[in-house]
Chain A
Amino acid sequence: MLNTFRSAAKPTCVLALFLAALMLTAVFPAAAAGEVDCGAALSRCLNEQTWWQRIFDADYCFIGFLFCLIYLQ
Chain B
Amino acid sequence: MAALPSPPINNKHSRRAGRLRPALLIPAAAWLLAAWLRADARPAFRLEEVLSVGGPQSDLLSMWVGAAVDSEGFIYLTDALEGTLKKFDSNGRPVKKAAWPRPPNDAFRVRRYPLDLWDRAIFVVVPSPFQSSIRMFDANLEPKGSIVLDEAADDLQALPGGLLAYSSVSLSKGGAGRVKIIDLAGRPRRTIACGQRDDPPALSALDFRFGADGSLYVVFNYLDRIAKFDGRGRLLWARGLLGVTRVKTKKILFADLPETPTFKDIALDGRGRLFVLGGGYSAHRSRDVYILDSEGRLLGSLILPQPSHCLVIDGRGFLYAREDEGMTIKKFRVIVQGENDARL
Chain A residues in contact with chain B, CB under 8 A? Answer: 21-22, 25-26, 29-30, 33, 35, 38-39, 41-49, 53, 56-73
Q: Which of B63, B105, B257, B264 is most buried by chain A, counting CB atoms within 10 A of its CB?
A: B257
Instruction: Given contacts A33-B250, A45-B108, list 9 more A-B pairs with CB under 8 A.
Output: A25-B253, A44-B107, A62-B202, A63-B170, A66-B205, A69-B258, A71-B110, A73-B261, A73-B285
Q: How far is the CB of A10 from chain B (nearest CB, A)?
A: 21
Q: How far is the CB of A44 from chain B (nearest CB, A)?
A: 4
Given A73-B260, A73-B280: A67 and B108 interface contact (C-beta under 8 Å): yes
A53, B63: Cα distance in complex, Å = 27
Chain B residues in contact with chain A, CB under 8 A? Answer: 63, 65, 80, 105-112, 127, 129-130, 152, 154, 169-172, 202, 205, 221-222, 250-253, 255, 257-261, 264, 279-280, 285-286, 309, 326
In the bound complex, do residue A66 and residue B257 qualify as a contact, i.e. CB atoms below 8 Å apart? Answer: yes
In the bound complex, do residue B252 and residue A42 qualify as a contact, i.e. CB atoms below 8 Å apart? Answer: yes
Q: Which of B109, B251, B252 is most buried by chain A, counting CB atoms within 10 A of its CB?
A: B252
In the bound complex, do residue A59 and residue B152 qualify as a contact, i.e. CB atoms below 8 Å apart? Answer: yes
Mostly, the A contact residues are helix
In the bound complex, do residue A63 and residue B253 qualify as a contact, i.e. CB atoms below 8 Å apart? Answer: no
Query: Which residues of the partner chain B approach A41 to less than 8 Å between Cβ atoms?
Result: 107-110
A31, B171: Cα distance in complex, Å = 22
Query: Which residues of the partner chain B approach A62 to less than 8 Å between Cβ atoms?
Result: 171, 202, 252, 255, 257
In the bound complex, do residue B107 and residue A64 qualify as a contact, i.e. CB atoms below 8 Å apart? Answer: yes
In the bound complex, do residue A60 and residue B110 qualify as a contact, i.e. CB atoms below 8 Å apart? Answer: no
Q: Which of B106, B108, B152, B222 is most buried by chain A, counting CB atoms within 10 A of its CB?
A: B108
In the bound complex, do residue B129 and residue A60 qualify as a contact, i.e. CB atoms below 8 Å apart? Answer: yes
Q: Which of A35, A62, A65 is most buried by chain B, counting CB atoms within 10 A of its CB?
A: A62
In the bound complex, do residue B108 and residue A66 qualify as a contact, i.e. CB atoms below 8 Å apart? Answer: no
Q: How far is the CB of B17 from chain A (nearest CB, A)?
A: 53
Query: Which residues of the partner chain B approach A35 to less than 8 Å between Cβ atoms?
Result: 259
Given A22-B253, A29-B252: A67 and B112 interface contact (C-beta under 8 Å): yes
In the bound complex, do residue B105 and residue A57 qualify as a contact, i.e. CB atoms below 8 Å apart? Answer: no
Given A59-B172, A60-B129: A69 and B107 interface contact (C-beta under 8 Å): no
A56, B326: Cα distance in complex, Å = 32
In the bound complex, do residue B111 and residue A67 qualify as a contact, i.e. CB atoms below 8 Å apart? Answer: yes
A21, B246: Cα distance in complex, Å = 27
Q: How far is the CB of B281 from chain A (nearest CB, A)?
A: 12
Query: Which residues of the partner chain B approach A67 to less than 8 Å between Cβ atoms?
Result: 108, 110-112, 154
Query: Which residues of the partner chain B approach A39 to less than 8 Å between Cβ atoms?
Result: 252
In the bound complex, do residue A26 and residue B109 qualify as a contact, i.e. CB atoms below 8 Å apart? Answer: no
Query: Which residues of the partner chain A approach B172 to less than 8 Å between Cβ atoms?
Result: 59
In the bound complex, do residue A66 and residue B258 qualify as a contact, i.e. CB atoms below 8 Å apart? Answer: yes
Q: How far is the CB of A51 from chain B (nearest CB, A)?
A: 13
A48, B129: Cα distance in complex, Å = 12
A16, B279: Cα distance in complex, Å = 37
A58, B169: Cα distance in complex, Å = 13
In the bound complex, do residue A59 and residue B221 qualify as a contact, i.e. CB atoms below 8 Å apart? Answer: no
8 contacts between A and B (CB under 8 A): A30-B250, A38-B108, A41-B107, A42-B108, A53-B130, A62-B171, A68-B110, A70-B264
Q: Which of B110, B202, B205, B260 is most buried by chain A, counting CB atoms within 10 A of its CB?
A: B110
A66, B279: Cα distance in complex, Å = 13
